[in-house]
Structure 1
Amino acid sequence: MIADIIPCQKMPRALSLLSYQIPQEYEDVIKIGQIWEIPLRQSTTRGIVADIKKNARHGLKLKWLKKIINKKTIFTEQQLKLFINLGDYYGVSASLFIHCNLPKIIKNEWDQFLEPQKPIDRPEQKKENIEYFWWGERKQKLSHYQKNIHRYSKLGQVLIVVPQISDIENIVSTLKIYPEDLCVINSQISRSAQIKAWQSALNGNKKIFIGTRLSCFLPFTNLQLIIVDDEHAPDHKQYDMAPRYAVKKVCQLISSEQKTKIIFLSPSPSIENYYEFSPHYHSIKNTEPDIINLENELKNKNYTFVSDRLKKEIQTTIDSGKKTFLFVNKKGESNHNYCTDCGHTFNCPSCLLSLIKTKESKLACYYCHYEEDFPPFCPKCHGPNFRSLGLGIEKIAKNIKKILPETTISYLTKESPDKTINNAQIIVGTKFATNKINWPQIGLIGVINADQLWQHSEFMAKERAYQTLINILTRAPKNAKIIIQTFSPENTIIRSIQKNKPAIFYQEELTYRKKFFYPPFSRLIKISTQNKNEKPALDQAKKIYENLQKIKGAEISTPLSIGRHILRGRYKFNIIIKLKDISILPTIFKVLPNDCLIDVDPQTLLN
């Protein structure tokens, strides 16, 4: 008898399964999902039994399995099929998914593992069992959650996938789920808690699971429903390390195999899902935001980026005992600093991006965390004259303090969380702040410069800008005042939000995507090469580009340097492939070297 094994260590993409002969004394013991010790090259490692068959697929002489680690089944057959399918789609070995998800079980914990429940057979479905719920206010979302969780938890297991760890507590407290029914899974829980979550999924003794994207890989045996919360969120895609997978694809493969229902929820659907599902918008009568044209402020010689209208509303809000939240999309005080004598600019020596000036007179890079003191003289010409351009939260806080000196102001970013936020009358923050502030206390929301959100070269820039603004507006308390400042009040995003008509934005964005052959009208693959030296990275990218030219049905870009040139000390070049037919992916993977980076369905093309 022959066993197909997925090794527990990282393997080249072509080696998802390795075949071994099963010793005769183990033929009645071996099961799919067990961990075995296997010979690999000149050493041994561990592997998971993925399939058992009578004969090998070829006539080659096979090595023998070494020994069984434990007779208990750790992975389900459906789980292993999921890993293999994901490996095929994302251009990696299935062993990478095993390596990332294998629980670290110590010796005395094996006895706690019971035999998994036998998966329940469900009737074949003629089409995908997927629902999209496009909510307009949070009470609609809550009602939809409660109705479906109550219904499906009676039938089996329910999984709620959230973008960030901070979202878990919010949903649990809002839904008031009983602790005995709940299992939480994320990257920050302890090893023992991870083992308990794994056992609960296998044994079915918990009904409701909630976690970040890694919760999708638990060994469910009776998964009835998957809810993907805020499906549009970037954190539903693992993009910074392999395997680079998306929650949507994982859930669709689970649904296809286990006949599980999927519900996507969002107040601002991704462009691809808007096009694919044509969801119904549960419209509400929002407080119509006031749009302030910043061009008029400049004509009136107001250069503070705090319009007269916003200043007046801040004072009114303070007098009413409420707080003001001012949203700024830039960190620091200024993001472009240079010498006016010679033109020397201050860039990060590691990633070459512009250093951002902070209020402590430091120059900082928020990508690689490099930091240096702002010098008194130019390091190139030794001149004393500098100029700082750009708009960050620290500069806005400073401007407001000059205008309203009696107010207490705090600013809040991921890098500089301000502990005085609870006592502040005005909170100035980036997107990070939206998950930290106490929204019921907010009486005024001001977007300082909306244009900063979409002034980027990424193909998803406008989509992300729209979703960021909707996220802020849907968090606003019912009677809160909303002011959006912009240099382009006729922008599609602004008009769509002001009129509460999402179709204005979505239809124009789809027109743009179709014209330039971007998703949903194509599928993207990003191939990256990197090296500590620029020339080897570029040479490898050029060679890959030449090999890809032989493939028909693909639109392939020449190698492009990433926006910041250097990432984590390495030069990086990207090749962007646009496909109409995703079925040629295996052909593309065959011509790629094992050391290049592959990102199928990337969210960014310049990094």
Structure 2
Amino acid sequence: MKYVNVAIDNNNDNTDILYTYACEFDEIKIGNKVYVPFGKGNRTKAAYVFEVLDKISININKIKYIDHIDEEISLNKEIINTCKWIRQQYICRYIDSIKCFTPAGSLSKRGKIRTPYKDFEGEYKSIKDLTMEQSNALDRINPFIEKQEYKTFLIHGVTSSGKTEIYMRAIDKCIKMGRTAIMLVPEISLTTQTIERFIGRFGSENMAVLHSKLSLGERYDEWMRVKKGKVKILIGARSGVFAPFENIGVIILDEEHETTYKSDKTPKYDTVEVAIKRAQQNNGIVLLGSATPSLISSYKAEKGLYEKITLKKRYNEANLPEVQIIDMREELKNGNKTIFSVALYNEICNCLDNEKQVILFLNRRGYSSFISCRSCGYVLKCKECGISLTYHKSNNKAICHFCGYTEDIPEQCPECHGKYIKHFGVGTEKVEEVSKKLFPQSIVERLDLDTTKRKGSIDKIINNFKKGKTHILIGTQLVAKGLDFANVGLVGIISADITLNISDFRAAERTFQLITQAAGRAGRGNESGRVIIQSYSPNHYAILAAAKHDYGEFYKTEKMIRSMLLYPPYSDLIQIIISSEEEEEVQLRSEKVVQDFINKAGNKSKKYIFGPHPAPMNKINNHYRYQLLIKCLPENRLIYTQIITEIKLGISTDRNAKYLISIDINPYSFL
């Protein structure tokens, strides 16, 4: 007779504990999915084994028995340990963490195996000699693969420096040692291009794919291929980090700086952190690659937590693209009120005449509008924390999405007293419309969330551009992430200010990254390309550093600002959202949460608490929302998360409560 402690598949905080059952199956092990009688009515519920015991101290006369073990679905000990860590790290339930690792969908009733990308032929590229920088990188990486010793590497390589070849060779070495590999990309739009290259190198029979655009059936079958050991490589977006592999040799995150690696749904995990946790338990390595590493990753490399590898040259020795900054204030003064500067218009004409392709980038996000003076470039900013204010049309107010500061919209610019101060807003759809009018002989396509809703639409748009059928591609950040097109002669950044003035302390970092990444799409063939940046703030340090391809200068400036204001990496930001159908109730409870936190953490914590204030998106699904933010210094992380866990548990287990609580550690959105 054995005994097991299991987590019940039940979405209720009241049952978020481990329950003990007796087990008559000698083969039971940690990670098994089992079915058990649960509750007063002994309803059969699914559960997952977290511990196997030979004896227990409770009264065995009242103990219940496991009904049976699921023969198809099971996890391993490493995954269960990671689930425990996720529950504590991101303040979620056992079952929330478990469901990250279990498959969506179910077995086909017809017994048919659903294989996505089965018709892909692959993109074979002959393996050329490595550059000196690539060879040096692998010389530092390979010893850890050979010794099966954990290590995280930050590969800081300029765009088109050959990072993908380093990834492939690391994977190849792991596979030859009988180990497995996970390759992650930040956007589904990049998955197809990565799959084609990997099929060309490793063959489709050795790979599985996991991402949210697959059908539930496809996801289930791909999960099972991984679980049964039929493949050695998994390619996917964020959720691919949870692939049920054994003996993981390498986990790779390409474009590691991207915000899409942070989940905005429970559990609100950071993919980089989960990858490192899994690699540590498997004695594997993590490769974080980017031309614009996140400030946090660079800081960790500086402190010795990661080993940094730098690639300064493009693999074909081509020069980085020439970058020109256009001051849109001057364009306005000269009577040009269109979205294209004279320089950008002329360069587009020049490119099209020479049969080169053009990418026009505009990261028009839904709630990131700002209020700016088109005469002098002045932007309304919060008097409390220096973050740009967001225009709220419903009440005609300028509001800080970080601390809640509010002010009226001025009738004239406070800086130059000009009359051109207003809500700034141009989207990709308008850019597409104008481009078609100005360049009627050219084929223009748009790549954003509105044009990629149908399955396969992303691949179709990208393939059209890749084959030269599309002359001008207009898009949001989807076009700035890792896509490799040899014939792009020009990248035009319509407005760098859209990301520069989002209500987020990372605004400068996001601007630098997106400009650099978008610029990196130009000149990837044998000829160097050109980049034109349009801005009303042309002297901002992020724009100037991006134009010079100078990551070091940007990092130095941004790190100094973060240090002064105690933003990450010098603290963790903990966001707490309280919501309720009753506005007065949510306000009162938010204030009580703050007071409960102070009572437990001490009066010194007051200066690190911002709010509570109405959340920027104050009402969703008939629920009013209040937000508070806590700056958590490294030495306080454990105690603060313990306190917040206690507060959350008290709220979520109160059957009379008329409100809900949501917690996000280091969120990438403050809406």
Structures share a fold, TM > 0.5? yes
Q: Conserved in 1, the CA contact under 8 Å of 2:190 and 2:482?
A: no
Counterparts in 2 of 1:126 and 1:204: CA distance versus 1, 3 Å? closer
1:159 maps onto 2:182 in alignment:
yes
Q: Could you tell me which residue of structure 1 aligns to residue 546 of structure 2?
A: 497
SS at match of 1:518: coil
| Equivalent pair of 1:39/1:63 in contact (CA under 8 Å) | no
In structure 2, how many angstroms separate the alpha carbons of the residues matched to 1:396 and 1:107? 45
8 Å Cα contact 1:548-1:556 kept in structure 2: no
Q: Deviations over 1:34-82 (max 9, x none)?
A: 2222233233311112211134366798631241144567111111111
CA drift of 1:577 comes to 1.5
Alpha-carbon distance between aligned partners in 1 of 2:97 and 2:13, rounded to the nearest angstrom: 13
1:251 aligns with: 275
Q: Distance in 2 between matches of 1:50 and 1:407?
A: 60
In structure 2, C-alpha distance between the alignment counterparts of 1:518 and 1:44, rounded to whole Å: 48
1:151 Cα deviation after fit: 1.0
| CA-CA distance at 1:191 after TM superposition | 4.5
Q: Distance in 2 between matches of 1:331 and 1:409?
A: 21
Provide the alpha-carbon RMSD of the alignment: 3.5
Deviations 1:12-44 (A, max 9, x none): 18724222233xxx0524332222222332333
2:642 alignment counterpart: 586
Deviations 1:417-456 (A, max 9, x none): 6979876544433223446988334322111221222112
Within 5 Å, which residues of 2 pair with 1:252-331? Answer: 252-278=276-302, 279-284=308-313, 285-330=319-364
1:580-601: CA deviation from partner (whole Å, max 9, x where unpaired)? 2222122321122224111122
2:448 matches 1:413: yes
The 2-side partners of 1:306 and 1:559 are apart by: 42
| Partner of residue 209, structure 1 | 234
- Could you tell me how far apart the structure 2 residues matched to 1:424 and 1:195 are? 35
Matched with 1:21 is 22
Take 1:238 and 1:181, find their aligned partners in 2: how far apart are those partners? 28
In the TM superposition, what whole-angstrom CA distance separates every residue of 1:78-111 from its partner, at most 9, and x where no partner exists? 111111111111111111122454335559999x
* C-alpha separation in 2, matches of 1:587 and 1:457: 28
- Contact 1:556 1:576 (8 Å CA) reproduced: yes
User: What SS class does the counterpart of residue 529 from structure 1 fall into?
Assistant: strand
**In the TM superposition, what are the counterparts of 1:184-203 in structure 2 within 5 Å?**
184-203=209-228
Aligned to 1:507: 556
Matching residue of 2:6 = 5
Q: Secondary structure at the match of 2:74?
A: coil
After superposition, the Cα gap between the structure-2 partners of 1:498 and 1:107, relative to the gap in structure 1 and judged at 3 Å, is closer
Q: What are the ranges of 5 or more consecutive residues in structure 1 without an aligned counterpart?
A: 113-121, 338-351, 356-386
User: Structure 1 pair 250/438, CA: closer, same or farther in 2 (3 Å)?
Assistant: closer
Query: What TM-score, normalized to structure 2?
Result: 0.74
With over 3 angstroms needed to count, the CA separation of the structure-2 counterparts of 1:495 and 1:191, relative to structure 1, is: closer
What's the secondary structure of 1:586's corresponding residue? helix
Structure 2 CA distance, aligned partners of 1:88 and 1:290?
48
User: Structure 1 residues 13, 457: closer, same or farther in 2, change over 3 A?
Assistant: farther
The one-letter code matched in structure 2 to 1:562 is A
Following superposition, the deviation at residue 182 of structure 1 comes to 0.9
Q: Which residue matches 2:136?
A: none
2:155 and 2:481 map into 1 onto residues whose CA distance is 22
Give TM-score, length-normalised by structure 1: 0.81
Distance 1:267 1:466 in 2: 11
* 1:588 maps to amino acid: I
The AA in structure 2 aligned to 1:505 is: F
Out of 195, 202, 215, the residue aligned to residue 172 of structure 1 is 195
Structure 2: 5+ residue runs without aligned partners?
114-143, 303-307, 314-318, 372-390, 395-421, 653-659
What is residue 510 of structure 2 aligned with on the other side?
464
Structure-2 separation of matches of 1:437 and 1:89: 33
Alignment partners' CA distance in 2, 1:258 and 1:388: 51
Alignment check: 8 A CA contact 2:100 2:242 kept: no
Provide the residue aligned with 1:348 in structure 2: none
- What's the CA shift string for 1:112-145, capped at 9, x where partnerless? 9xxxxxxxxx99x999511111111324112212
> 2-side partners of 1:68 and 1:93: how far apart?
24
> What is the CA-CA distance between 1:534 and the residue it aligns to?
2.2
Match of 2:380 in 1: none
Distance 1:13 1:287, change over 3 A: farther
- Matched residue count: 547
Q: Is the 8 A contact 1:168 1:210 kept in 2?
A: yes
Equivalence for 2:520: 474
Q: Cα distance 1:392–1:32, how it changes in 2: closer, same or farther (>3 A)? A: closer
Which 4+ stretches in 1 moved above 6 angstroms? 57-61, 107-110, 334-337, 418-422, 435-438
The answer on whether the counterparts of 2:21 and 2:66 sit within 8 Å (CA) in structure 1 is no
Structure-1 separation of matches of 2:434 and 2:188:
34
* 555-564 or 74-83: bigger deviation: 555-564
Deviation at 1:402, TM superposition (A): 6.3
In structure 1, the residue matched to 2:85 is: 85
- Equivalent of residue 393 in structure 1, options 428, 431, 442: 428
Query: Structure 1 CA distance, aligned partners of 2:224 and 2:433?
Result: 53
| Distance of aligned partners of 1:331 and 1:296 in 2 relative to their CA distance in 1, 3 Å threshold | same
Letter in 1 for 2:39: R
Change (3 A) 1:16 1:193: farther
Going from structure 1 to structure 2, the CA distance change for 1:274 and 1:565 (only over 3 Å counts) comes to: same
Q: 1:528 and 2:577 equivalent? A: yes
- Alpha-carbon contact 2:107-2:221 (below 8 Å) kept: no
Measure, in 1, the Cα distance between the counterparts of 2:149 and 2:442. 58
Say if 1:19 and 1:62, in contact at 8 Å, map to a contact too. no
Aligned to 1:448: 494
Asked whether the 8 Å contact 1:186–1:211 carries over to 2, the reply is yes
Q: How does 1:368-383 map to 2 (within 5 A)?
A: none
Q: Which range moves more in the overlay, 469-478 or 153-162?
A: 469-478
The one-letter code of the counterpart of 2:425 is G
Specify whether residues 319 and 407 from structure 1 end up closer, same or farther in structure 2 by C-alpha distance, changes over 3 A only: same
Residue 532 of structure 1: how far off its partner (Å):
3.0
CA contact (8 A) 1:8 1:99 kept: no
2:268 aligned partner, one-letter code = R
The amino acid of 1:201's aligned partner reads: V
Aligned partners of 2:423, 2:545: CA distance in 1, in Å?
A: 34
Q: Distance in 1 between matches of 2:350 and 2:280?
A: 55
Identity score, percent: 23
1:602 maps to 2:662:
no
How far does residue 264 in structure 1 lie from its aligned partner after superposition?
0.8
Aligned mates of 2:25, 2:352 — CA distance in 1: 76
Letter in 1 for 2:3: I
Partners of 2:241 and 2:370 lie apart in 1 by 42
Amino acid corresponding to residue 4 of structure 2 in structure 1: A
For 2:196, give the aligned amino acid.
Answer: S
* Aligned-partner Cα distance in 2 for 1:100–1:505: 36
Closer, same or farther: CA 219–392 of 1 in aligned 2, 3 Å:
closer
Q: Is the 8 A contact 1:129 1:261 kept in 2?
A: yes
Partner of 1:367: none
In the alignment, the residues of structure 1 paired with residue 286 and residue 255 of structure 2 have an alpha-carbon distance, to the nearest angstrom, of: 13
Structure-2 change in CA distance of 1:506 and 1:434 (3 Å)? closer
Q: Work out the CA distance in 1 between the residues paired with 2:550 and 2:369.
A: 34
Separation of aligned partners in 1, 2:255 and 2:25: 47
Q: 1:424 to 1:77 in 2, by over 3 A?
A: closer
Indicate conservation of the 8 Å contact 1:20/1:62, yes or no: no
Distance of 1:436 and 1:232 partners within structure 2: 12
1:317 aligned partner, one-letter code: C
Structure 1 match to 2:135? none
Distance in 1 between the 2:87 and 2:580 partners? 25
**Cα offset, 1:232, TM superposition:** 1.0
